[in-house]
A and B are shown apart, each in its own frame.
Chain A
Amino acid sequence: MKAMVLALIVATAAAAAAVEIAPGDRQSGYDFVSPETRAMQDDDTANPGMLGVLQGETLWAAKAGATDRSCADCHGDARATMKGVAARYPLFEPALARPLDLEGRINRCRSEHQRAAAFAAESADLLALTAFVAYQSRGLPIAVQTNAELKPFLELGSELFHRRQGQLNLSCSQCHDDNWGKRLAGAVIPQAHPTGYPVYRLEWQSLGSLQRRLRNCMTGMRAEPYEYGAPEAVALELYLMARAHGMTIETPGVRP
């Protein structure tokens, strides 16, 4: 009996080791990058991610698919109609009984409403359109809903974030909850808040999605990366956005 109690105490202590970041201590990855990288993000005429936003603006007005409709034909002026949208994603889609991230929503609109072929995952056009839509939420606080429908997916995301995995047997939480601000080789470990996605990552020399960044993380952890669009990937996105609730959207962010 005593051994069981001891085992329980040890197990509980171990589980509680991953302390979440206090809301007041949360900082965007922007705060951890060099002044030069921040300067690159701050100037809209020098931010390479803005090239994607411009491309997205063109795509927004482009007719597509069997219906020969553009995004604008249904949604009008994105500056008005898309304001705040990215801040609420991933969002639950009742028809699919699961959450969709912004890329997923755009592709669903394309196939269901425009009757056009979905964009390939991580394609330049999909990234451009996602960046353009997310850009309309720049400056707004992240506000994903965490209602009953999303609860199981949020729990899955949390479990994935805290689970040890890969050859290094590391969890996301161990770096990003417990050791943020410290250095991993030459790089400062950020808190992993998705405030600037799609982001212009200097490593990619292009815009990229949160899912791409997560795949990079998992490769770094020597774990098997999730496929684009996998339920685990979306669940993790949902968890990360909920964890970053209230933080300001910076799209397009610039990160190393």
Chain B
Amino acid sequence: MEEQSPDPPTRRLVLLGAASSGLALCATGPAAASPAAMDEAIRALVSEAPVNRGKVKLELPPIVENGNTVPLTVTVDSPMSETDHVTGIHVFNEKNPQPYVAAFELGPRAGRAMVSTRIRLADSQQVVAIARLNDGSFWSGGADVIVTLAACAEG
């Protein structure tokens, strides 16, 4: 699995920074997938707080053989001590019908802030992971994936 840079797209940060400027985000329907929906979901999580780049590494295959099952690992650089640890990791996407993927709850008993799962990706897109630390700060990392279709499917 290739390691992706921890930098989220700059546009996202600008939008998040402009959260208070009354940016109109519209959902065109239940199946409306869009970067804007992802931004809105992220904003609902962080509200006015800044999202820092760094600490979060999101690993996804750069080219996905089948969007039905995509292995994902998110790692946050943290000592996971009583005084300095990750409390939550939230994963978002920009082109599925919903922006949410999963939200993981951690604490000092985790020992290591690293979670692996398998996700569905409807199309080639950005995936973003936001970590919340016990001091209330938010950190993010992202990955770009190309999703291909399997050959010779059912119909």
Contacts and interface: CB of A to CB of B under 8 A. Distances in A.
Direct A–B contact in the complex, CB atoms closer than 8 angstroms: yes
Interface of A: 33-37, 39-40, 48, 184-187, 189, 201-205, 215-217, 219-221, 256
B79 to A, nearest CB: 28
Contacts of B153: 203, 216, 219-220
A66 to B, nearest CB: 36
Given A37-B65, A40-B71, A215-B154, 15 more contacts: A35-B61, A36-B61, A48-B69, A185-B151, A187-B149, A187-B150, A187-B151, A201-B150, A202-B68, A203-B150, A205-B69, A217-B152, A219-B153, A220-B153, A256-B66
Query: Which of A39, A186, A205 is the most central at the interface, judged by chain B CB atoms within 10 Å of its CB?
Result: A186
B60 to A, nearest CB: 9
B155 interface: yes
B148 A203 contact: no
Contacts of B69: 40, 48, 202, 205
A45 to B, nearest CB: 12
B155 A187 contact: no
B101 interface: no
Contact of A187 (B71, B148, B154): B148
Given A187-B151, A189-B151, A219-B154, A39 B65 contact: no
B63, B149, B154, B155 pick with most chain A CB within 10 angstroms: B154
Contacts of B63: 34, 186
Contacts of B148: 185-187
B65 A187 contact: yes
Nearest to B116: A46
Contact of B1 (A36, A202, A203, A221): A36
Contacts of A203: 66, 68, 150, 153-154
Given A34-B61, A36-B71, A202 B66 contact: yes
8 contacts: A37-B65, A184-B151, A201-B150, A203-B154, A204-B154, A205-B68, A220-B152, A256-B65
**Which label, helix, strand, loop or mixed, suits the secondary structure of the B interface?**
loop
A201 B1 CA distance: 20
Nearest to A219: B155
A54 B69 CA distance: 21
A219 B148 CA distance: 18
Nearest to A200: B69
Interface string B11-32: 0000000000000000000000
| Top 9 A-B pairs, shortest CB-CB distance | A186-B148, A220-B152, A256-B65, A187-B151, A202-B66, A203-B150, A256-B66, A202-B69, A36-B71
Given A36-B71, A40-B71, A220 B65 contact: no
Contacts of A202: 65-66, 68-69, 150
B152 A219 contact: yes
A181 to B, nearest CB: 13
A33 B151 contact: no
Residue from B69, B71, B152 having most chain A Cβ neighbours under 10 A: B152
Contacts of B152: 216-217, 219-221
B155 A34 contact: no
Contact of B65 (A33, A216, A219): A33
Contacts of A215: 154
Contacts of B150: 187, 201-203, 256
Interface in B104-153: 148-153
B122 to A, nearest CB: 14
